[in-house]
Structure 1
Amino acid sequence: MDLIALADFNLVARHGGFGRAARATGRPKATLSRRVTELEASLSLRLFERGARNLKLTEEGRALYERTAALLTEVDETAAAIASGAETPRGRLRISAPLLLSQTAMGKIAAGFALRHPEVRLEITAEDRPVDMIEEGYDLVIRVNPDPDETLVGRAFLRDRLVVVASPDLTRPRGELPAPAVVRGSSSPETWNFMTSKGPEKIRIEPVLSLSSLIMVRDAVRAGVGAARLPISLVDHDLADGTLQHWGDVEGSEIALWALYPSRRLLSARVSAFLEYLKQIFPNATPDELAAYISK
């Protein structure tokens, strides 16, 4: 494939037309049109629907643009960095992060990174769904306990665990009596198994509230409506000041936050800089570090 023709196709697709691309870049309109036509011929595909007054990407053209735009940008940035003799992070950095981490820490993380690297335009989307990095144009995703994926590489930069907590005014039930519980989502196990200083325990629960956000769950537990299973980093200071009491650690509840990027891409300077910044903030990757960072 002719990379120059591919780059010209991306210019036209990004600017929405041959004329606009020519005016924005100073390239002759006829040259851009010829290059795109040659690319279409080499691929045996129509990449644009050409109307009398407008230009529209075909389905195949849109797929090609979405898959190649970020790669060409990385090649350009790498070449510029090599030519300047320095790997200065610059350009757009798109990150998808889990909702809870975004609500508690990502704003502060983003601000600190932006102050350190002003030439990077950071964009963070908070969502819990598994995004397709290539299709949706993300440079980095943060995922909780991700499934193995041979197309992604990265590292765990934080670890956490679940604990059972409740208001000091709520007495832990004994025997077969159920404990009022605040749960996340509509499904929850009927019993909770957790480890105490005296050994393993099990209690039946009766959900009294079902909430979609762990922040909401924590606030409801603070109000005394029931017990909940929450990340220790989210309630560490509540436990320290007595706002909440610790019933036990949930067995097998280790949580790992991973920063991942596509294995087939060049690792850009901006991605490397963000990974290094996470390592500086959380050098030991412990729940205590995250709790302390959130409370600052």
Structure 2
Amino acid sequence: MDLLALADFTLVAKHGGFGKASRAAGRPKATLSRRVTELEEALSLRLFERGGRTIKLTEEGRALFERTYALLSELDDTAAVIASGGGTPRGRLRISAPLLFSQIAMGRIAAEFALRYPEIQLEVTTDDREVDMIEEGYDLVIRVNPKTNEGLVGRAFLRDRLVVAASPRFVRLNEGEIVRAVMRGAGGGNGWTVIKDGGRSHIAFEPILRLSSPIMVRDAVRAGVGAAALPYSLISQDIAAGHLIHWGDVDLPPTALWTLYPTRRLLSARVSAFLDHLRQTFPQGTSEELAAFMTA
């Protein structure tokens, strides 16, 4: 297989068209088109659906792009490391991270990383959706309890737990009463099973307020409108200061934050450096560690 043709195909697929790829690489559009056609003929496959002013990867083309993009990126990274004598990681690193983690921790994590690796151009975007790493050009994504994806590998680096809390001004008159609750988004059931002092109890609730962000929920609970289940790391300081009362830990598995990246035999030096930075920042990966990081 012609490696140059494969590289040109990957360039066109990455930029979403021959014209955009031509401008990005400073290569003639006709040359790129000819190389891709030659590759299609060699493989006896149609890699792009061409129509009007747009092109779209076929199913076979997408499968090839996902493999070649990772492999060619790996070759570029390896060549860069060799050229620099295996020294300091450098280049662009794009990361997608969930909203809450970005708001409470990612700014400081990114700043400390940038100070440590000044030759890496770090770009962090916030998104709770499941991004397409290859098509959208991300090197690493951070996700909460991600679904299994055969094309990605990774590890959990942090775990947080949900706790039920309320303001001291919000008084439960009786142990079995239905309490007013502040919920994040739709759904959520009608009760929490909580663990406290080694025992389990059930707290029935009625949602009276629904908000889209955990930080909004926390602020509403601080105001005394009702109780809520929130990440421990987000409200540990309020609990310690007496601004919120801890009613118990929700009887559910911890929420896990994962780092995910495309399956490769060799990680880029930039991704490896960021993974090491996270491991050093959260060596135990507990909710208490995240809470301490936020209040440091």
Q: TM bucket by the smaller chain?
A: 0.7 to 0.9
CA contact (8 A) 1:18 1:32 kept: no
Instruction: Single out whichever of 64-73 and 198-207 deviates more from structure 2.
Output: 64-73
CA contact (8 A) 2:98 2:128 kept: yes
Deviation of the 1:167 alpha carbon: 0.1
1:66–1:121 Cα change, 3 Å: farther
Deviation of the 1:11 alpha carbon: 4.6
**RMSD over aligned Cα, in angstroms?**
3.0
Instruction: Single out whichever of 55-64 and 117-126 deviates more from structure 2.
Output: 55-64
- Partners of 1:269 and 1:138 lie apart in 2 by 15
Which residue of the partner structure matches residue 74 of structure 1?
A: 74
Counterpart amino acid of residue 106 in structure 1: M
CA contact (8 A) 1:164 1:249 kept: yes
Deviation of the 1:39 alpha carbon: 1.9
CA contact (8 A) 1:15 1:21 kept: no
Which residue of the partner structure matches residue 212 of structure 1?
A: 212
1:49–1:186 Cα change, 3 Å: closer
Matched, 1:6 2:28: no
Deviations 1:98-155 (A, max 9, x none): 2110111112211221222222222222222223333433221212223444433222
Deviation of the 1:268 alpha carbon: 0.9
- Partners of 1:222 and 1:286 lie apart in 2 by 24
- Partners of 1:216 and 1:135 lie apart in 2 by 33
Ranges in structure 1 where 5+ consecutive residues have no aligned partner? none
Which residue of the partner structure matches residue 201 of structure 1?
A: 201
Matched, 1:144 2:144: yes
The 5 Å alignment of 1:27-66 reads 34-44=34-44, 45=46, 47=48, 56-60=54-58, 63=62
The share of aligned pairs that are identical, in percent, is: 60
1:177–1:19 Cα change, 3 Å: closer
The 5 Å alignment of 1:58-207 reads 58-60=56-58, 63=62, 67=66, 68-69=68-69, 71-86=71-86, 88-197=88-197, 199-207=199-207
CA contact (8 A) 2:193 2:203 kept: yes
Deviation of the 1:189 alpha carbon: 1.7
CA contact (8 A) 2:181 2:207 kept: yes
Deviations 1:139-176 (A, max 9, x none): 21212223444433222211211111000111124244
The 5 Å alignment of 1:227-242 reads 227-242=227-242
- Partners of 1:208 and 1:23 lie apart in 2 by 53
Ranges in structure 2 where 5+ consecutive residues have no aligned partner? none
| TM-score normalised by length of structure 1 | 0.85
CA contact (8 A) 1:22 1:32 kept: no
Which residue of the partner structure matches residue 292 of structure 2?
A: 292
- Partners of 2:69 and 2:263 lie apart in 1 by 17
- Partners of 1:149 and 1:29 lie apart in 2 by 35
1:100–1:22 Cα change, 3 Å: closer
CA contact (8 A) 1:66 1:135 kept: no
1:58–1:199 Cα change, 3 Å: closer
- Partners of 2:150 and 2:57 lie apart in 1 by 27
- Partners of 1:188 and 1:18 lie apart in 2 by 49
- Partners of 1:48 and 1:36 lie apart in 2 by 12
- Partners of 1:40 and 1:185 lie apart in 2 by 48
